[in-house]
Structure 1
């Protein structure tokens, strides 16, 4: 049985690592580094740079692997994701098996692996099951609200976290006036009525490449779409997140 540690690295800024994360990386025998193809090579480069900066243990080894592609031909989205996670877990198992002396394995995870990442679901597929440890990182929600210097919610008010797919397909969830939208393939906010809605958007939140835009959704949406397309073309990838807040309905008084 191995010890598998999922290390949250925030939004990729090396300064987002906690002392706990740095200690865990230095305690690892093996650190897994995923590669996502030439277009996203700087994601692997960033993980390497983080390791080079914080790992001082000469016994710690890095092992890189290519992430498999998701089969978009499968019509059922959930099944596509499940099959993809199976494939990734199989690759992890192969790499770990190829390093039999590695008893402590670590994986650097964007954001907080317990919040919205699939790494925990992939880890659950390993056999025998590893002893799992999760080290939280700064979440993209924290990076977003910090970038705009705003609070996540109004006083005493709830908020919801959803995906671009669900916002596009199901609309604004009932019972909340504040939404945080993650994993948007692009422009899901166009599917809602912009009247009275303000948006705070950030791409590469917390990183040197950070881009922020905010304002009334009706005016800001086209600016975001343009900035997003330009950033994606420039970097080959994009990670963005946004907060939507609509004005609550007026309180009727007798």
Structure 2
């Protein structure tokens, strides 16, 4: 493989694809897709629809099965490091089979809570395959959440903390405004008796997009219930939320 494009494709709405991303996709011969099987088949279908909409040349898709990992480990960082090693080894093998230009479509933006660039660094460090690579930014789920709720992510002159559900449980809110990603446990429940407002969104930009907002003590149970219903029906969920003190 001569070159790899790592392309941010937004939170799920095909209209969020930038002109720069379209130009990059049109240079690609082979797209590599790491998937989790039939449970997330819809995510592959969305990627394929994006490609079919914007490409006017033949292309190939190489699916790569995502290796399993412990989702509730005692040593979180060690488990993730091992998972990244196994993922990068699979990518390395796939890259070695391609003669041309490759591409990876990344939900949101490759710079925000995504491991693709870290895995590519591991592949290049091993030196078995060599290639140039370029990163194309995308619209993040944070931007999509703010746009759909018609809000600004922070008060005037205030900071925004971007964190995970695990860190929220361990450290609390930690700022006037906290944007929480990767939360499979509804960690906002640990703050449900506080003077906090929440703006929550799932499947942003997709047909099943769901939005809930309000004082956290009022809407907490509704979000937990609705999230469980959606996940049970679809088999997967992608969601994000903003918390703000005293709103």
Q: Deviations over 1:143-164 (max 9, x none)?
A: 1011100111111111111100
What is the deviation of 1:38?
1.5
TM-score (ref. length: structure 2): 0.93
Any stretches of 5+ residues in structure 2 without a counterpart? none
- Spell out, residue by residue over 1:83-116, the C-alpha distance to the aligned partner (whole angstroms, 9 max, x if none): 11111111111111122x22x2110000011122
Contact 2:198 2:241 in 1 (8 A): yes
Do the aligned partners of 1:10 and 1:16 also contact (CA within 8 Å) in 2? yes
1:179 counterpart SS class: strand
- 1:118-158: CA deviation from partner (whole Å, max 9, x where unpaired): 11111111133532211111100001011100111111111
Deviation at 1:194, TM superposition (A): 3.1
For 1:251, the equivalent position in structure 2 comes to none
Task: Report if aligned partners of 1:114, 1:134 keep a CA contact under 8 Å in 2.
Answer: no
2:205 aligned with 1:236, yes or no? Answer: no
How far apart, in 1, do the equivalents of 2:204 and 2:170 lie? Answer: 26
Answering whether residue 158 of structure 2 is matched by residue 161 of structure 1, we say no
Q: How many angstroms does 1:29 deviate by? A: 2.0
| 1:35 CA drift (Å) | 2.1
In structure 2, how many angstroms separate the alpha carbons of the residues matched to 1:228 and 1:94? Answer: 37
Distance 2:147 2:240 in 1: 13
Measure the CA separation in 2 of the matches of 1:54 and 1:119: 23
| Cα distance in structure 2, aligned partners of 1:35 and 1:163 | 22
Stretch deviating more after TM superposition (219-228 or 23-32)? 23-32
CA separation of 1:158 and 1:223: change in aligned 2, threshold 3 A: same
Cα distance change of structure 1 residues 196 and 75 upon mapping to structure 2, 3 Å threshold: closer
Deviation for aligned residue 1:235:
0.9
**What is the match of residue 111 of structure 1?**
108
Number of residue-to-residue matches in the alignment:
243
Q: Is the 8 A contact 1:27 1:57 kept in 2?
A: no
Does 1:5 find its partner at 2:5? yes
What's the RMSD between the two structures over aligned residues? 1.6
**CA displacement, residues 44-88 of structure 1 (integer Å, 9 cap, x when unaligned):** 121122112212122x32211211111458641111111111111
Taking the TM superposition and a 5 Å limit, the aligned residue runs for 1:113-192 are 113-127=110-124, 128=127, 130-173=131-174, 176-192=175-191
CA contact (8 A) 1:186 1:225 kept: no
Q: How does 1:1-254 map to 2 (within 5 A)?
A: 2-58=2-58, 60-71=59-70, 75-99=74-98, 101-102=99-100, 104-127=101-124, 128=127, 130-173=131-174, 176-192=175-191, 194-247=193-246
